[in-house]
Amino acid sequence: MIKVAFYDAKPYDRSSFEHYGKLHDVQFRFLEIKLSEDTVELARDCDAVCVFVNDNVNAKVIDRLYEMGIKLIALRSAGYNNVDVRAAFGKIHVVHVPAYSPYAVAEHAMALLLTSVRRIHKAYNRTREFNFSLSGLTGFDLHGKTVGVIGTGRIGRIFIDICRGFGMNVIAYDAYPAPDSGIEYVTLEELFHRSDIISLHCPLNDSTRHMIDRKAIDSMKKGVIIVNTSRGALINAEALLDGIRARKVGAACLDVYEEEADIFFEDRSGHILNDELLSRLISMPNVIVTSHQAFLTEEALNNIAETTVNNILSCFEKDGLCDNELCYRCGNIERCRKERKERCF
Protein backbone atom coordinates (compact mmCIF):
# COMPACT_ATOMS: atom_id res chain seq x y z
CA MET A 1 0.00 0.00 0.00
CA ILE A 2 1.41 3.39 -1.07
CA LYS A 3 0.26 6.21 1.22
CA VAL A 4 -0.19 9.69 -0.27
CA ALA A 5 -1.00 12.96 1.54
CA PHE A 6 -3.39 14.78 -0.82
CA TYR A 7 -3.22 18.52 -0.13
CA ASP A 8 -5.80 21.19 -1.07
CA ALA A 9 -8.42 18.47 -1.64
CA LYS A 10 -11.72 19.68 -3.11
CA PRO A 11 -14.97 17.66 -3.12
CA TYR A 12 -14.71 17.17 -6.91
CA ASP A 13 -11.25 15.55 -6.60
CA ARG A 14 -12.20 12.73 -4.30
CA SER A 15 -14.29 10.25 -6.28
CA SER A 16 -11.87 9.90 -9.21
CA PHE A 17 -8.77 9.65 -6.97
CA GLU A 18 -10.50 7.21 -4.61
CA HIS A 19 -11.54 5.10 -7.60
CA TYR A 20 -8.06 4.83 -9.19
CA GLY A 21 -6.37 4.61 -5.80
CA LYS A 22 -8.44 1.59 -4.77
CA LEU A 23 -7.74 -0.13 -8.08
CA HIS A 24 -3.98 0.06 -7.49
CA ASP A 25 -3.57 -0.05 -3.72
CA VAL A 26 -2.74 3.65 -3.41
CA GLN A 27 -4.30 5.23 -0.32
CA PHE A 28 -4.98 8.98 -0.34
CA ARG A 29 -5.13 11.02 2.86
CA PHE A 30 -7.35 13.94 1.79
CA LEU A 31 -6.39 17.24 3.45
CA GLU A 32 -8.38 20.39 2.72
CA ILE A 33 -5.46 22.58 3.71
CA LYS A 34 -2.74 23.68 1.28
CA LEU A 35 0.83 22.39 1.58
CA SER A 36 3.17 24.94 3.16
CA GLU A 37 5.88 25.06 5.84
CA ASP A 38 3.06 25.14 8.43
CA THR A 39 1.22 22.07 7.14
CA VAL A 40 4.02 19.82 5.92
CA GLU A 41 3.89 17.71 9.12
CA LEU A 42 0.45 16.42 8.07
CA ALA A 43 2.24 14.23 5.51
CA ARG A 44 3.89 12.21 8.30
CA ASP A 45 3.98 8.43 7.63
CA CYS A 46 3.19 8.95 3.95
CA ASP A 47 5.32 7.87 0.97
CA ALA A 48 4.31 10.75 -1.31
CA VAL A 49 2.43 14.05 -1.42
CA CYS A 50 -0.06 15.02 -4.12
CA VAL A 51 -0.31 18.77 -4.74
CA PHE A 52 -2.18 21.33 -6.89
CA VAL A 53 -1.37 24.74 -8.35
CA ASN A 54 -1.60 26.79 -5.15
CA ASP A 55 0.35 24.49 -2.82
CA ASN A 56 3.63 26.15 -1.95
CA VAL A 57 6.36 23.54 -2.42
CA ASN A 58 9.42 25.67 -1.71
CA ALA A 59 12.93 24.54 -0.72
CA LYS A 60 12.11 24.51 3.01
CA VAL A 61 9.03 22.36 2.46
CA ILE A 62 11.03 20.02 0.23
CA ASP A 63 13.80 19.67 2.84
CA ARG A 64 11.25 18.83 5.53
CA LEU A 65 9.48 16.33 3.27
CA TYR A 66 12.85 14.72 2.58
CA GLU A 67 13.66 14.48 6.30
CA MET A 68 10.26 12.84 6.80
CA GLY A 69 11.11 10.18 4.20
CA ILE A 70 8.73 11.39 1.46
CA LYS A 71 9.99 10.12 -1.88
CA LEU A 72 7.65 11.72 -4.40
CA ILE A 73 5.84 15.00 -5.10
CA ALA A 74 2.99 14.22 -7.51
CA LEU A 75 1.51 17.34 -9.10
CA ARG A 76 -2.05 16.84 -10.30
CA SER A 77 -1.64 19.73 -12.76
CA ALA A 78 0.39 20.46 -15.87
CA GLY A 79 2.02 23.64 -14.51
CA TYR A 80 4.73 23.30 -11.86
CA ASN A 81 5.86 26.87 -11.15
CA ASN A 82 4.86 26.36 -7.48
CA VAL A 83 7.43 23.58 -6.96
CA ASP A 84 11.13 24.33 -6.52
CA VAL A 85 12.22 21.56 -8.88
CA ARG A 86 15.88 22.51 -8.47
CA ALA A 87 15.67 22.12 -4.68
CA ALA A 88 14.01 18.72 -5.12
CA PHE A 89 16.73 17.33 -7.36
CA GLY A 90 18.64 14.49 -5.74
CA LYS A 91 16.13 14.30 -2.88
CA ILE A 92 12.55 13.82 -4.02
CA HIS A 93 11.18 12.89 -7.42
CA VAL A 94 8.61 15.27 -8.95
CA VAL A 95 5.97 14.21 -11.49
CA HIS A 96 3.11 16.08 -13.19
CA VAL A 97 0.18 15.56 -15.58
CA PRO A 98 1.23 17.17 -18.87
CA ALA A 99 -2.17 16.87 -20.60
CA TYR A 100 -5.57 15.71 -19.41
CA SER A 101 -8.33 17.08 -21.66
CA PRO A 102 -7.65 19.75 -24.23
CA TYR A 103 -11.34 19.40 -25.23
CA ALA A 104 -12.43 20.60 -21.78
CA VAL A 105 -10.54 23.90 -22.12
CA ALA A 106 -11.35 24.51 -25.81
CA GLU A 107 -15.05 23.81 -25.24
CA HIS A 108 -15.09 26.14 -22.22
CA ALA A 109 -13.56 28.90 -24.35
CA MET A 110 -16.40 28.49 -26.86
CA ALA A 111 -18.98 28.30 -24.05
CA LEU A 112 -17.74 31.66 -22.72
CA LEU A 113 -17.75 33.18 -26.20
CA LEU A 114 -21.31 32.02 -26.97
CA THR A 115 -22.54 33.15 -23.56
CA SER A 116 -21.10 36.59 -24.17
CA VAL A 117 -22.18 37.00 -27.79
CA ARG A 118 -25.76 35.75 -27.22
CA ARG A 119 -26.12 37.38 -23.76
CA ILE A 120 -27.06 34.02 -22.19
CA HIS A 121 -25.90 35.16 -18.74
CA LYS A 122 -28.34 38.08 -18.87
CA ALA A 123 -31.22 36.05 -20.32
CA TYR A 124 -30.80 33.39 -17.62
CA ASN A 125 -31.10 35.97 -14.84
CA ARG A 126 -34.06 37.68 -16.50
CA THR A 127 -36.22 34.61 -17.04
CA ARG A 128 -35.60 33.44 -13.47
CA GLU A 129 -37.45 36.62 -12.45
CA PHE A 130 -40.13 36.08 -15.13
CA ASN A 131 -38.74 39.00 -17.12
CA PHE A 132 -39.25 37.92 -20.71
CA SER A 133 -38.17 41.17 -22.36
CA LEU A 134 -35.62 40.90 -25.17
CA SER A 135 -34.40 44.49 -24.97
CA GLY A 136 -30.62 44.69 -24.81
CA LEU A 137 -30.11 41.02 -25.69
CA THR A 138 -29.24 41.49 -29.37
CA GLY A 139 -26.18 39.43 -30.24
CA PHE A 140 -24.40 38.71 -33.50
CA ASP A 141 -23.70 35.66 -35.67
CA LEU A 142 -20.35 33.95 -35.18
CA HIS A 143 -20.67 32.62 -38.73
CA GLY A 144 -18.42 34.59 -41.08
CA LYS A 145 -16.53 36.38 -38.27
CA THR A 146 -12.75 36.23 -38.04
CA VAL A 147 -11.26 34.60 -34.96
CA GLY A 148 -7.57 35.07 -34.16
CA VAL A 149 -6.12 32.14 -32.21
CA ILE A 150 -2.85 32.74 -30.35
CA GLY A 151 -1.14 29.41 -29.67
CA THR A 152 -1.96 26.44 -31.89
CA GLY A 153 -0.98 23.56 -29.61
CA ARG A 154 -3.31 20.90 -28.22
CA ILE A 155 -6.03 23.26 -26.99
CA GLY A 156 -5.69 25.93 -29.70
CA ARG A 157 -6.10 23.35 -32.50
CA ILE A 158 -9.29 21.95 -30.98
CA PHE A 159 -10.64 25.47 -30.51
CA ILE A 160 -9.86 26.12 -34.19
CA ASP A 161 -11.83 23.01 -35.21
CA ILE A 162 -14.79 24.15 -33.11
CA CYS A 163 -14.67 27.64 -34.68
CA ARG A 164 -14.54 26.17 -38.17
CA GLY A 165 -17.67 24.17 -37.30
CA PHE A 166 -19.38 27.51 -36.69
CA GLY A 167 -18.31 28.76 -40.13
CA MET A 168 -15.80 31.26 -38.77
CA ASN A 169 -12.66 32.39 -40.59
CA VAL A 170 -9.64 31.32 -38.55
CA ILE A 171 -6.27 33.08 -38.48
CA ALA A 172 -3.55 32.20 -35.99
CA TYR A 173 -0.25 33.23 -34.49
CA ASP A 174 2.23 30.81 -32.91
CA ALA A 175 5.90 31.30 -32.09
CA TYR A 176 6.40 27.81 -33.59
CA PRO A 177 3.82 27.43 -36.39
CA ALA A 178 2.76 23.86 -37.17
CA PRO A 179 3.83 23.02 -40.74
CA ASP A 180 1.22 21.45 -43.06
CA SER A 181 -1.55 22.12 -40.56
CA GLY A 182 -3.71 24.03 -43.00
CA ILE A 183 -3.84 26.91 -40.51
CA GLU A 184 -3.48 30.45 -41.88
CA TYR A 185 -0.63 31.88 -39.79
CA VAL A 186 -0.20 35.66 -39.61
CA THR A 187 1.96 38.00 -37.54
CA LEU A 188 0.69 39.00 -34.11
CA GLU A 189 0.15 42.56 -35.39
CA GLU A 190 -1.96 41.33 -38.30
CA LEU A 191 -3.95 39.07 -35.99
CA PHE A 192 -4.72 42.01 -33.68
CA HIS A 193 -5.69 44.14 -36.66
CA ARG A 194 -7.99 41.62 -38.41
CA SER A 195 -9.70 39.65 -35.64
CA ASP A 196 -13.29 40.14 -34.44
CA ILE A 197 -12.54 37.67 -31.66
CA ILE A 198 -9.15 36.84 -30.12
CA SER A 199 -8.65 33.66 -28.08
CA LEU A 200 -5.47 32.95 -26.11
CA HIS A 201 -4.07 29.40 -26.02
CA CYS A 202 -0.32 29.90 -25.49
CA PRO A 203 1.70 29.34 -22.30
CA LEU A 204 2.75 32.09 -19.92
CA ASN A 205 6.46 32.84 -20.14
CA ASP A 206 8.72 35.89 -20.33
CA SER A 207 7.86 36.50 -23.97
CA THR A 208 4.08 36.18 -23.56
CA ARG A 209 3.57 38.03 -20.24
CA HIS A 210 1.22 40.99 -20.92
CA MET A 211 1.18 40.25 -24.66
CA ILE A 212 -2.27 41.89 -24.54
CA ASP A 213 -1.28 45.36 -23.34
CA ARG A 214 -2.38 48.92 -24.16
CA LYS A 215 -0.51 48.97 -27.46
CA ALA A 216 -1.99 45.64 -28.53
CA ILE A 217 -5.51 46.72 -27.58
CA ASP A 218 -5.07 50.01 -29.47
CA SER A 219 -4.25 48.05 -32.62
CA MET A 220 -7.35 45.81 -32.37
CA LYS A 221 -10.71 46.27 -34.11
CA LYS A 222 -13.28 48.32 -32.25
CA GLY A 223 -15.62 45.92 -30.44
CA VAL A 224 -13.15 43.02 -30.38
CA ILE A 225 -13.99 40.15 -28.01
CA ILE A 226 -11.06 38.78 -26.01
CA VAL A 227 -11.23 35.23 -24.61
CA ASN A 228 -8.59 34.04 -22.14
CA THR A 229 -8.61 30.47 -20.86
CA SER A 230 -4.80 30.20 -20.66
CA ARG A 231 -3.08 32.24 -17.96
CA GLY A 232 -4.15 35.56 -16.45
CA ALA A 233 -0.83 37.34 -16.87
CA LEU A 234 -1.04 37.07 -20.67
CA ILE A 235 -3.27 40.14 -20.32
CA ASN A 236 -2.50 43.44 -18.61
CA ALA A 237 -5.82 43.59 -16.74
CA GLU A 238 -5.68 47.37 -16.20
CA ALA A 239 -5.20 47.95 -19.91
CA LEU A 240 -8.12 45.59 -20.57
CA LEU A 241 -10.37 47.48 -18.16
CA ASP A 242 -9.44 50.78 -19.80
CA GLY A 243 -10.12 49.25 -23.24
CA ILE A 244 -13.57 48.16 -22.06
CA ARG A 245 -14.37 51.55 -20.54
CA ALA A 246 -13.26 53.28 -23.76
CA ARG A 247 -15.68 50.97 -25.68
CA LYS A 248 -12.72 49.69 -27.70
CA VAL A 249 -13.05 46.14 -26.34
CA GLY A 250 -16.57 44.84 -26.95
CA ALA A 251 -16.39 42.03 -24.39
CA ALA A 252 -13.97 39.96 -22.35
CA CYS A 253 -14.37 36.31 -21.37
CA LEU A 254 -11.90 35.41 -18.64
CA ASP A 255 -11.34 32.03 -17.02
CA VAL A 256 -8.04 33.20 -15.58
CA TYR A 257 -6.80 36.38 -13.91
CA GLU A 258 -3.27 37.50 -13.12
CA GLU A 259 -3.87 37.82 -9.38
CA GLU A 260 -6.15 34.80 -9.08
CA ALA A 261 -3.95 32.73 -6.73
CA ASP A 262 -5.48 33.92 -3.44
CA ILE A 263 -9.00 34.38 -4.82
CA PHE A 264 -10.02 31.67 -7.26
CA PHE A 265 -11.04 28.12 -6.23
CA GLU A 266 -12.55 29.36 -2.92
CA ASP A 267 -15.98 30.60 -1.82
CA ARG A 268 -15.47 34.33 -1.19
CA SER A 269 -19.16 35.23 -1.06
CA GLY A 270 -19.90 37.14 2.13
CA HIS A 271 -16.40 38.63 2.12
CA ILE A 272 -15.26 41.99 0.79
CA LEU A 273 -13.09 41.34 -2.26
CA ASN A 274 -9.73 43.02 -1.75
CA ASP A 275 -9.02 43.32 -5.44
CA GLU A 276 -10.37 46.53 -6.93
CA LEU A 277 -9.41 45.62 -10.46
CA LEU A 278 -11.17 42.25 -10.43
CA SER A 279 -14.24 43.82 -8.77
CA ARG A 280 -14.40 46.46 -11.49
CA LEU A 281 -13.96 43.91 -14.26
CA ILE A 282 -16.71 41.70 -12.82
CA SER A 283 -19.03 44.72 -12.52
CA MET A 284 -18.82 45.39 -16.28
CA PRO A 285 -21.89 44.15 -18.20
CA ASN A 286 -19.72 42.79 -21.01
CA VAL A 287 -17.19 40.85 -18.89
CA ILE A 288 -17.72 37.22 -17.95
CA VAL A 289 -15.42 35.69 -15.35
CA THR A 290 -15.21 32.02 -14.43
CA SER A 291 -12.74 30.95 -11.76
CA HIS A 292 -10.22 28.77 -13.62
CA GLN A 293 -12.81 26.09 -14.31
CA ALA A 294 -12.05 25.40 -17.98
CA PHE A 295 -10.37 22.09 -17.09
CA LEU A 296 -13.23 20.95 -14.88
CA THR A 297 -14.96 18.10 -16.70
CA GLU A 298 -15.48 14.53 -15.56
CA GLU A 299 -13.21 13.33 -18.36
CA ALA A 300 -10.41 15.67 -17.33
CA LEU A 301 -10.75 14.78 -13.64
CA ASN A 302 -10.63 11.08 -14.51
CA ASN A 303 -7.57 11.56 -16.72
CA ILE A 304 -5.82 13.60 -14.01
CA ALA A 305 -6.51 10.93 -11.39
CA GLU A 306 -5.55 8.02 -13.66
CA THR A 307 -2.30 9.68 -14.81
CA THR A 308 -1.37 10.74 -11.28
CA VAL A 309 -1.90 7.21 -9.92
CA ASN A 310 0.13 5.79 -12.83
CA ASN A 311 2.88 8.36 -12.14
CA ILE A 312 2.96 7.26 -8.50
CA LEU A 313 3.08 3.57 -9.45
CA SER A 314 5.86 4.21 -12.00
CA CYS A 315 8.00 5.82 -9.33
CA PHE A 316 7.44 3.23 -6.59
CA GLU A 317 7.03 0.08 -8.63
CA LYS A 318 8.15 -1.07 -12.07
CA ASP A 319 11.60 0.31 -12.95
CA GLY A 320 11.14 3.63 -11.17
CA LEU A 321 11.20 5.46 -14.49
CA CYS A 322 8.31 7.85 -15.06
CA ASP A 323 7.72 9.63 -18.38
CA ASN A 324 6.13 12.53 -16.53
CA GLU A 325 9.08 13.16 -14.21
CA LEU A 326 10.21 16.79 -13.93
CA CYS A 327 13.84 17.47 -13.33
CA TYR A 328 15.64 20.73 -13.85
CA ARG A 329 19.04 19.21 -14.69
CA CYS A 330 19.08 18.91 -18.45
CA GLY A 331 16.97 22.03 -18.96
CA ASN A 332 15.05 20.36 -21.77
CA ILE A 333 12.40 18.07 -20.45
CA GLU A 334 11.15 16.90 -23.85
CA ARG A 335 14.63 15.88 -25.06
CA CYS A 336 15.50 14.38 -21.71
CA ARG A 337 12.43 12.13 -21.81
CA LYS A 338 13.44 10.74 -25.18
CA GLU A 339 17.06 10.10 -24.26
CA ARG A 340 16.66 9.06 -20.65
CA LYS A 341 17.14 5.37 -19.98
CA GLU A 342 17.22 5.55 -16.20
CA ARG A 343 15.95 7.62 -13.28
CA CYS A 344 17.03 11.25 -13.07
CA PHE A 345 18.94 10.49 -9.85
Q: Is 258 one of the binding residues for ligand NAI (CB under 6 A)?
A: no
SS3 93: strand
| Identity of the residue numbered 57 | V
* Residue whose Cβ sits closest to ligand NAI: 153
Q: Is 151 one of the binding residues for ligand NAI (CB under 6 A)?
A: yes
- Residue from 76, 93, 221, 292 that binds ligand NAI (CB under 6 A)? 292
Q: CB-wise, 229 or 311, nearer to ligand NAI?
A: 229
Tell me how far, at minimum, the Cβ of 263 lies from ligand NAI, in Å. 15
| Identity of the residue numbered 149 | V
- Residue from 105, 198, 305, 315 that binds ligand NAI (CB under 6 A)? 105
Task: Select from 22-30, 121-129, 172-180, 239-247 the region that touches ligand NAI (CB under 6 A).
Answer: 172-180
> In angstroms, what CA-CA distances link 267 with 10, 87, 234, 262, 272?
12, 33, 25, 11, 12
Q: Is 243 one of the binding residues for ligand NAI (CB under 6 A)?
A: no
Q: Is 152 one of the binding residues for ligand NAI (CB under 6 A)?
A: yes
What residues numbered 189-228 form the site for ligand NAI, per CB under 6 A?
201-204, 207-208
Q: Is 153 one of the binding residues for ligand NAI (CB under 6 A)?
A: yes
Cα 123 from Cα 120, distance rounded (Å): 5
Q: CB-wise, 68 or 178, nearer to ligand NAI?
A: 178
Q: Please give the span between the terminal C-alpha atoms of the chain, in angstroms, as a whole number.
A: 24
- Residue from 6, 20, 52, 295 that binds ligand NAI (CB under 6 A)? 295
Q: Which spans in 31-93 are helix H? A: 59-67, 85-88
Instruction: Evaluate the CA torsion angle 103, 109, 110, 114 in order and state its sign.
Output: positive
DSSP string, 266-331: S--TTS--S-HHHHHHHHSTTEEE--S-TT-SHHHHHHHHHHHHHHHHHHHSTTS--TTEE-STTS
Task: Select from 11-19, 113-121, 144-152, 312-320 the region that touches ligand NAI (CB under 6 A).
Answer: 144-152
- Residue from 55, 84, 196, 255 that binds ligand NAI (CB under 6 A)? 255
| Cα pseudo-dihedral 261, 265, 266, 271, rounded to 10 | 60
Q: Is 320 one of the binding residues for ligand NAI (CB under 6 A)?
A: no
